[in-house]
Chain A
Amino acid sequence: MSLLTVEDLFVEYRHGARRVPAVRHVSFSLKEGECLGVAGESGSGKSTLALALLKLLPDSASLSAQRLDFDGRSVLDLAPRELRALRGGEVGFVFQDPFSALNPVLTVGDQVDEVLEWHRGGRNRQRVLDLFAQVRLPDPGDLYGAYPHQLSGGQRQRVCLAMAIASNPKLLIADEPTTALDVTVQREILNLLDDLRRDVKTQVPHPPLRGTFPQEGKENKEFPSPLGRGQGEGLAQFRRNMKMALILVTHNVGLLSERSDRLAVMYAGEIVEIGPTATVLSRPAHPYTQGLLKSLPRLSGTDRRLPALPGQPPDPKELPSGCPFRVRCPSSFERCVVHSPALRPVLDGTVQAACHLFGDFP
Chain B
Amino acid sequence: MWRFYGRRFLANRLALAGASVLLFLGLAAVGAPVLSRTDPNQQRLTERLMPPSVHHLLGTDDLGRDVAARMLHGGRVSLRVGLVAVGISVIIGTWVGVTAGFFGGWVDGLLMRVVDIMLCFPTLFLILMVIAFLDPSLWTVMTVIGMTSWPGLARLVRGETLSLRERDFVWAARGLGLSAPRIVLVHLLPNLVVPILVSATLGVGSAILTESALSFLGLGVQPPMASWGNILTSGKDYLHVAWWLSVFPGVAILVTVLALNLLGEGLRDVLDPRS
Contacts and interface: CB of A to CB of B under 8 A. Distances in A.
A115 B174 CA distance: 11
A99 B29 CA distance: 46
Nearest to A114: B186
Contact of A87 (B1, B168, B177): B177
A105 B168 contact: no
B175 A56 contact: yes
A114 B190 CA distance: 14
B119 to A, nearest CB: 27
A89 B175 CA distance: 10
Nearest to B191: A105
Contact of A163 (B1, B105, B176): B176
Contacts of B187: 103, 106
Nearest to A84: B177
Contact of B191 (A56, A89, A103): A103
B182 interface: yes
A88 B168 contact: no
Interface string A141-157: 00000010000000000
Interface string B227-252: 00000000000000000000000000
Interface in B11-34: none
A59 interface: yes
Nearest to B194: A105
Contact of B177 (A86, A102, A103): A86
A220 interface: no
Interface string A101-127: 111111000000011001100000000
Contact of A105 (B171, B178, B190): B190
B150 to A, nearest CB: 24
Given A56-B171, A95-B168, A97-B168, A103 B190 contact: yes
A347 interface: no
A271 interface: no
A102 B169 CA distance: 5
Nearest to B179: A84
B177 A100 contact: no
Give chain B's interface residue range (CB within 8 Å of chain A). Answer: 20 to 34
B122 interface: no
A93 B182 CA distance: 18
B193 to A, nearest CB: 8
A87 B191 contact: no
A88 B177 contact: yes
A131 interface: no
Nearest to B187: A103
A105 to B, nearest CB: 5
A160 interface: yes
B186 A104 contact: no
A204 interface: no
A85 interface: yes
B176 A118 contact: yes
A164 B175 CA distance: 9
Contact of A100 (B168, B182, B190): B168
B177 A59 contact: no
A102 to B, nearest CB: 6
A110 B167 CA distance: 19
A101 B176 contact: no
B178 A93 contact: no
Contacts of A95: 168, 171-172, 175
A9 B94 CA distance: 40
Contact of B182 (A103, A118, A147): A118
B6 interface: no
A131 B171 CA distance: 22
A179 B182 CA distance: 29
A251 B191 CA distance: 33
A54 interface: yes
Q: Which 10 A-B pairs have the closest CB atoms?
A: A88-B176, A87-B177, A88-B177, A93-B175, A100-B168, A84-B177, A101-B172, A101-B168, A105-B190, A103-B169
Interface of B: 1, 104-105, 167-169, 171-179, 182, 186-187, 190-191, 193, 273
Given A101-B169, A118-B178, 12 more contacts: A54-B175, A56-B171, A56-B174, A87-B177, A88-B177, A89-B177, A100-B169, A102-B169, A102-B172, A103-B169, A103-B186, A103-B187
